[in-house]
Each structure stands twice: as C-alpha cells, then as structure tokens.
Chain A
Amino acid sequence: DAGVTQSPTHLIKTRGQQVTLRCSPKSGHDTVSWYQQALGQGPQFIFQYYEEEERQRGNFPDRFSGHQFPNYSSELNVNALLLGDSALYLCASSLEVKSSYNSPLHFGNGTRLTVT
C-alpha cells in the first residue's frame, strides 16, 4: 500500500524564483492538504484540495497556489520566493468523510526548500 509520496526531496532556489512541489496521495485517498514547517516549529496549514478545488486556505499570501489533478495528485507552487519561504513543505492526504470532518491525516516525508 503506497503511502504519500513527495518530490523532490530537496530543492535549492534563489530569491525571486518560482518553485513547484509535487505530491501523490496515499492509495484510496482523495483529499490533499499542504503544510509548511519551519525549523523547530509545528506545521502550518497552507491549503486543502478536494475535487480539484481549493476548499480552505490558511494565512498564506497569493504567492502560494496549488492544483489538484483528476488522479488526486497535487502540486504546490510558490512564486517570487523569499528567504522566509525556506522550510519543509509537507503534503498530507486523507479520505473525505461526507458525514463529518473526522479524517486522519497521512503525511509524506516532505520537500526541504532552501531559498538563498
């Protein structure tokens, strides 16, 4: 049973550049969430995708955007990179439960982004 896979594992970019991170959800999952984790901090919610739509967004600027594909995989795009965007970016998948929000998250190993 394949878990959540993310690519690439590490990435180094220069200020002002753009980056795309990719995520394949756990088999059977249809919902993808993205989190940013700075060193020594807990993950911060960026947004969640379901049925190819962004259905909730955290407190992140419009430079952060995403996409979900028909096969449920997802991309996170960050434009105009800042030094402060350096972090571990985590993708989490879950299975939509129509009757409630109580769906556990399954995380990938993340993409370590360094902005110089």
Chain B
Amino acid sequence: KQEVTQIPAALSVPEGENLVLNCSFTDSAIYNLQWFRQDPGKGLTSLLLIQSSQREQTSGRLNASLDKSSGRSTLYIAASQPGDSATYLCAVSPSGTYKYIFGTGTRLKVLA
C-alpha cells in the first residue's frame, strides 16, 4: 500500500532563507509526483509535476527533485518570501491507477 510522508510537519524561517521540504513514498511504482501549495481554507495550486522518468523540474525559485528508487522527492525554495507562507503538499500517482495519494503536508511560515 502506497504511503506518503512529509517532513517536517511545520517550519518557520526568516525571510531570505533557502529551504528544503521533504517527501517520501513507500512504493516506487509511480507515474509521477506533483507538488502543491495550499493557502488556509483554499484549494490546491499545482507547483511542479515530475514524471517518473525525470529527475527534476524547475519553476522560478522552486526546484523539485525525484529519486524514484529511494522513494524520495525534495522541494527546494530559494530566497524565501513571506508570500511563500502556506502548506506544501506532495502527491504521487501510483502506477495502474488514476488517483493521487497525498502526504499530510508541511506548514511553512516565512517571517518578514
């Protein structure tokens, strides 16, 4: 059974720091992995999608890597800003399914 874990559960950093959010999954048979951002009481905004054949994806200050064999992904945020404060969720799409399985998220607070 696929399980997704995110560490840390919460993180508070001063503005300008570079930070890394971690995601691990138990079964390497996935189609892709997607990182999302969720603001309080809102829906999810897609940040990056990494296909199973890819190692990383970049968008602006965000970089996500995928190591399928070890069941790990990291989201790197460069030069963090207060506007980055949100909950970050990773989700994997297991092979042979149409669903995504989510972690419980990392709640990030960037202090001005």
Contacts and interface: CB of A to CB of B under 8 A. Distances in A.
Interface of A: 4, 6, 31, 33, 40-45, 48, 50, 55-56, 58, 88, 90, 92, 100-102, 104-110, 112
The SS class assigned to the B binding surface is: strand
A102 B43 contact: no
A42 B98 contact: no
B69 to A, nearest CB: 19
Interface of B: 4, 31-32, 34, 36, 41-46, 49, 51-52, 89, 91, 93, 95, 97-105
Given A42-B4, A56-B99, A58-B99, A104 B49 contact: yes
A35 B59 CA distance: 26
Nearest to A90: B43
B67 to A, nearest CB: 18
Given A41-B104, A42-B104, A100-B31, A90 B98 contact: no
Given A42-B4, A43-B44, A102-B51, A33 B99 contact: yes
